[in-house]
Structure 1
């Protein structure tokens, strides 16, 4: 099987897994994956991640020109911004997962680091998660906002919209996205309970042990 055929199958497999577990719904969410020649596979616009056809996955050039498959998601500028600013990015996942979206609606969260430091795993897999403002879906300004971070964040939360996570490959991006949603859910469950977060010293130990970019 060719690289592109295998990658198209992989995108469909992980997309269906996330859809079946309720991490995305309807025709929300999108995935991209970078191939060895620098071109991208992207889920098509208006498609459901639970019912993707590998042959119809969009194949686009580095500049975003359609090479084969259906028309790509309108959020492609958001994806390409991560590839352009983080050289080690091999895949990007964007969802509208419920708990992550809910976290963006709260009035007292830290926009520089939305996720509370409740467990080491959110730190290890995500680093600090930046809250970006609201943009109309498909607005290229989302990509410009990511570029403005100069590659310093692998994950962001779009206010009133949803999370976007970049990883070294598709598996890493999906695992990090799952961790983001799980941490958001935990934060909402514990809200108002006086739950004990990790101390600065404990955070420092995790950052040092796993070489996390925490600046």
Structure 2
């Protein structure tokens, strides 16, 4: 599992969506959660960069865990069949997270089939300071399904059935946010309800947005 986290961190750094020592990763491994340590550079992870938590988030081994543990726990509680969470401060996602959301249930509109296939709706979660445990409560609160969110003025978080799935969603969300900014102020053509329904049904993603 540690090797998978190291490889995932390198992939995010190489893609340019994990600047500096920002961002954190976790995987569920049986009764434990492995999470990158506080201040870890995702492009330079090693065994000494990974903390071990119990299922409730208590620190049981390794370095001090990321201060965003509450974000990870909230995504696991929301998506109980998911085993990985990615939180990054990718630049286009941060930019869109500084703007008004497209709708209550998705900060990002249905611009591409790949966004709907790999991410689905991604709400904007109200601002809390980085590391504030209240951010976890805000992620847990919405009464609709999602596996990704933008954190206001902060970044993005995704969860997945495995680490590769969560990474794919994070990369796709960043790319969709880039397209949002490229089309800003233009009146882009959105996918219609029929296409949205077909894509989300076939790929197991959620879309309640109007």
TM-score by length of 1: 0.91
Q: Choose from 12, 16, 22 the match for 1:28.
A: 22
Bigger Cα displacement from structure 2, 107-116 vs 132-141: 107-116
Q: Is the 8 A contact 2:118 2:203 kept in 1?
A: no
Task: Say which SS state the counterpart of residue 41 (structure 1) adopts.
Answer: strand
Query: Could you tell me which residue of structure 2 aligns to residue 197 of structure 1?
Result: 190
Give the alignment partner of residue 208 of structure 1, picking from 181, 187, 201.
201
- How well do the aligned residues superpose, as a CA RMSD in angstroms? 1.6
Aligned pair partner of 1:155 in 124, 139, 148: 148
Q: Which residue of 1 aligns with 2:168?
A: 175
Displacement of 1:122:
0.6
SS, match of residue 93 in structure 1: strand
Distance 1:151 1:45 in 2: 31
Runs (5+) with no aligned partner, structure 2: none
Distance 2:143 2:25 in 1: 21
Q: Does 1:116 align with 2:77?
A: no
| Secondary structure, aligned partner of 2:131 | coil
- For residues 192 and 208 of structure 1, the distance between their equivalents in structure 2, rounded to whole angstroms, comes to 30
CA offset digits 1:151-183 (Å, max 9, x no partner) = 721111100000000111100000000000001
Q: Does structure 1 residue 51 correspond to structure 2 residue 51? A: no
Tell me if the contact between 2:88 and 2:155 (Cα under 8 Å) persists in the aligned partners: yes
SS at match of 1:177: helix
Distance 1:92 1:54 in 2: 18
In 2, Cα distance between the equivalents of 1:172 and 1:93? 10
- Does the CA-based 8 Å contact 1:85-1:150 persist in structure 2? no
Measure the CA separation in 1 of the matches of 2:200 and 2:15: 30
Query: Are residues 1:15 and 2:9 paired?
Result: yes
CA contact (8 A) 2:122 2:148 kept: yes
For structure 1, the residue ranges without an aligned partner over 5 or more in a row are 1-6
Q: How many residues align?
A: 208
For 2:144 and 2:103, locate their aligned partners in 1 and report how far apart those are by CA, in whole Å. 20
**Aligned equivalent of 1:138, options 131, 140, 146:** 131
Is the Cα contact below 8 Å between 1:86 and 1:151 reproduced in 2? no
Q: Deviations over 1:128-158 (max 9, x none)?
A: 1110111001000011011113572111110
Alignment CA distance shift 1:46-1:180 (3 Å): same
